[in-house]
Amino acid sequence: MSTDPFYRMFPAYLGTATEEDTASQYLQNVQGHCFMNMNISTGFSTNEAGALTVSVTYDMNESLGFCAEHLQASTAFSDSYNFYFYSGYKQFELTFTDEWEIADVKKNGIRFFTYCSDPFTFLQSTVTSALMWLGGNGASKYLPTFGDKPTNYQKEMNAKFLKQFTGIGLQERIINIVDIDQGLLKTGDILIGRRFTGDATQWMLLEGGYANHAAMIFAPADSKKKYVLDCPRDAGQFNPQ
């Protein structure tokens, strides 16, 4: 695992608990990065309204000391993050009401992950992160004073860290404003979206993707309006453009 400030981005898989497999609901002797011996117990229950509740208990043992165990419990639609510094039993519940997510949990279960955070990486990442942002966000791109603009050296260091960690080299982006003739848009045409900021872009690039959103055009023959269908759950509910 990398020890630079981005090391938390990549989780290590611990196991999966499913409702049908009783044995999977008791993951024993799982090794984390802070606690060398963990047990994960999971329970599933459904109420009269159809909501699914998942009860999770972490039994944390054999800590390395001066570190935090960063645990993640995930479905295909959401993630739950917890940080633990001390050993013992840690309990929490996840409640799902969305039918899509309930179906996912019943079929694929709850997946557990951890992130690097042993004593060495904990210290090194803290120091490196502090150095990366030393000087604050300058009002001037040359002077390291507090403000709302990153300094030149911050941009250079961020690019350097990203290059070392992912092998991706940042290049200055050229922005072109292009007019689109909406008369050319027909039903079935696909719109591809790509974000250039935020963690969604990082995950997209690291996973080898070139786009992180797609939508379809719907243009009724009896109307001059065109619609964008951007979510399969909302079939029949179009966003007028």
- Same structural domain, 85 and 149: no
- Same structural domain, 90 and 156: no
- Same structural domain, 40 and 67: yes
- Same structural domain, 12 and 87: yes
Does 29 reside within a domain? yes
Condensed to tens digits (0 to 9), the pLDDT of residues 8-41 reads: 445 678 999 999 999 999 999 998 888 999 999 9
CA distance 43 to 32: 21
Percent of the chain with pLDDT strictly greater than 70: 63
- Same structural domain, 25 and 95: yes
Distances (CA, A) of 155 to 69, 139, 177, 199, 201: 31, 14, 25, 17, 17
Average pLDDT over residues 45-69: 91
Q: Is 25 left (phi over 0), alpha (psi -120 to 50) or beta?
A: alpha
- Same structural domain, 109 and 19: yes
- Same structural domain, 18 and 105: yes
- Same structural domain, 97 and 147: no
Does 88 reside within a domain? yes
Does 175 reside within a domain? no
Average pLDDT over residues 140-168: 62
pLDDT at 28: 94
Residue 53 is part of a domain; what is its CATH number? 2.60.40
- Same structural domain, 162 and 95: no
Task: Give the residue from 166, 191, 226 where a domain finishes.
Answer: 166
Range(s) of the domain holding residue 223: 182-240
Confidence at 138, pLDDT banded by 50, 70, 90:
very low
CA distance 155 to 48: 54
CA distance 137 to 156: 14
Which of 112, 57, 103 has its CA nearest to residue 81?
112
The count of structural domains within the chain is 3
